[in-house]
Amino acid sequence: MISRLLRTYFTVAPAVKCRDTVSPHHQPSATRLRPAAPTRRDSLITYRRLVEAAGRLLDRHEHQGFNLAEVAREAEVSTATVYRYFGSIDHLVDAYLDAFVDDLAVARARRPEAERTGVAGLRTLGDDYVELALSRGRAMVHGRSLAGIVHRYRAGDPSIVKIWALYAEPIGSALDELGHGPDDLEFAVLLWNAMFYARELLDLRESMGWSPQTISRRLTDTFLGAMGARTAAPNAASA
C-alpha cells in the first residue's frame, strides 16, 4: 500500500534529458527536477494508481524496459493522464522508490520507542525493511544507482536523505552500544545498505528458501559481527 505520506521533492538542476522508457539500469538522481505529489484527494488517488502500476511493471520487466504508454495501460488510464503527473519514466520510478521509503517510515513510526533504537532497533529495522522489500518482488532491484549512498547523501539526494534519517537512529544508537563514535556512522550505513540489497534478499528467499525473519536475523547478526566493539580508531592512511 502506498502510504499517505507519499510525496516527492523539488530539486533545482540544469536541464537534463529524461527518458520515457526504463531500463534495468535506472539511475536515481539528485539533480533532476522532480515533480511534487498532488494534494487534491482525487489527484492523489490517480497518482498512487500510477505509482503502483509502475511497481507491477518493474516487478515483471526484469531485463527489458517499458514506457509511459505501458504504464497507462497497466493503470487503465490515458497516456495523457500519465504525462500530467510524470514527465518521464525516471520521475515515475523515483516516485515508486520514494513510496517505499515512506512506507518504511510508517512501519518504523508504529514501533514503540524501545524497538526503534539500539541493537533492538537495528533488528526491527531489518525486519521492517526485509518484509517491505520482499513484498515488492523484483521492483526494488531497479533502484540501484552508480553513485553510492554516502555520495548521494552528501549531495543532498532527497530520497537518500529520507532513508538515511530512518537508518541513522537505530544504526547510530547501536554503534553507541558497541562503543563506536559518530565518525563510524557513514561507513555503518553504507555497509547496512550494501548487505540489505533487494536482489540479494530475493536470492536468499528464492534460492535458499529462507523466511523474511531468517533473512533479517542472519544479515543483522552478520552486520553486528562485522562492526564489532570499537577497540581502536582506524588508520585511514593504511586502509
Domain boundaries, the chain: 97-229
pLDDT in the model for residue 18: 39
Instruction: Write down the residue that cell numbers 540489505 correspond to.
Output: 196
pLDDT in the model for residue 169: 94
- Could you give the CA distance from residue 140 to residue 96 in angstroms, rounded to a whole number? 9
- Could you give the CA distance from residue 219 to residue 127 in angstroms, rounded to a whole number? 10
Cβ-contact 131, 193 below 8 angstroms: no
pLDDT in the model for residue 35: 55
Which residue ranges of the chain lie beneath pLDDT 50? 1-26, 28-33, 63, 231-234, 236-239
Q: Which long-range contacts (CB under 8 A, 24 or more apart) does 168-175 make?
A: 169/116, 169/117, 169/121, 170/116, 170/117, 170/118, 170/121, 170/122, 170/124, 170/125, 171/122, 171/125, 173/117, 173/118, 173/121, 174/117, 174/118, 174/119, 174/121, 174/122, 174/224, 175/227
pLDDT in the model for residue 30: 46
pLDDT in the model for residue 87: 86
Q: E strands of the chain, at which residues?
A: none
- Could you give the CA distance from residue 178 to residue 181 in angstroms, rounded to a whole number? 9
pLDDT in the model for residue 38: 56
Cβ-contact 142, 21 below 8 angstroms: no
